[in-house]
Structure 1
Amino acid sequence: MDYRFLGTIFAAWPFEADLEEYGMVTMRWVTGAVMLACTGALVACGGGADKTPGAAAATPTPSGTPSGTVGTPSAVATDPLLSGKREVTIVRVQGSGSELELSGRLEEGGDTGGRVLFVPMPIGGDRYVIKAFGTKDGHPANDDPSCWQVNGLDIEPELTIEAAVCDEDNPIQRFTIVTKGDGSYAIGSETRTLQHAAGNGLILKEAGDAAPSSTFRFVDKGPADRQPVN
């Protein structure tokens, strides 16, 4: 701050006057003059010599909110039965309550000693590779999975599901599983859905625009922690 102007103020003031009469008035007058000078020379009084004249003031960012980011809703929780981390048994809702079993072919309650524990492994969207295991009885073969696969030898329009060596890159091992909202699921492959046909058991059939006639309930049987045979 340039204090030279204060000398000019004091030089012009009649100090020979009675200080008792003018003392307090003088101090108020000088104080007012200094404040007025500071108002006109704000940069000098405010100590802002390091600021660039005309620079725009920065807009503060609200605490806890990174600048330029937009909040997004939390991701929807994954169905644990479709996470690939749980083994399930599968029962057709419209059936007798028998569990699905995979031996040579997927069927209901065949009691043929096939595999009845399944792990839907997500591969993107609503598509899954469905692994099949035997019961946990310590037999190593039961811990080595087979997978569902569309039987390529079948003739349209009715296709069956067979057991095969797992290969998630094989398109005929990719199945859709869609939650129906009532605790049940629809299972399909491409444009076909898994349905029960009298006299032919479980088949993959074109459903068109109709709702699937068969839906399935998954029953949690514990963690998918098998150690397959190497």
Structure 2
Amino acid sequence: MNVELNGQTILANIPQQEVLGHLIILKGQFVLVEKEENKTSHKFISPEAVEKAFTAKTVSSGWLSPNTLWWGKTPNGEGIIQFYPPQKYSITIQLLEGNKTITVPMPGFIFAGNYSSYYLWVIKGKIFKQDCQLYKAPLPNIWNDSNRICFGKNIPPTCNPDSINKAWQLFWNSPFNQDLSQNKCRSHPHNVCNLLISLQGAKSFPVKELVSCSYQRIKNPNDIPKYLFEHE
């Protein structure tokens, strides 16, 4: 079926007296052209007004987790950004001699999800700021170029306010192997797992170990919805 041809056919057969107006779509702006008797009026309207006019029902995110900083509807589904302050985590690392479970301090995390993809960064300090600098998470199993989490054979849930906490728990409860462990810290650039093992029993994470994301397109939290959700 040729949808474009059908649309042209329908428009060609509509009596002009039944056409009350039309909508012109510009970049970031809409123009409503209305006809009344022999007069034609032009009215500039915002994208928000158009969305409200065409939305027949209320869209609600539901109750959001206290960790949630941002929620939005994106072309790929719902997008969510969360913040987790510095704290200790219990992690399991797969080694040649077997699995090793340790408890280590970690810096503050920025966790983002969109559809079935999830991303992780860290920040310095205990308080979230929109323009703070982002650093690579000092963990394996996270892609260096995009900071996207590799869940391996595990399948994370589709991101929404009810499921994102399940994805967070899945990440921490799954054993870490040593894939994608390079360039995640200063002292052990070839394998961040060596740093993690050395931190067992430490009181806090040494922020001097963090590797900056300044060369990437996502450099601070403001960039996450701008690039990740709008252009993914």
TM-score, normalised relative to structure 1: 0.29
TM-score, length basis structure 2: 0.29
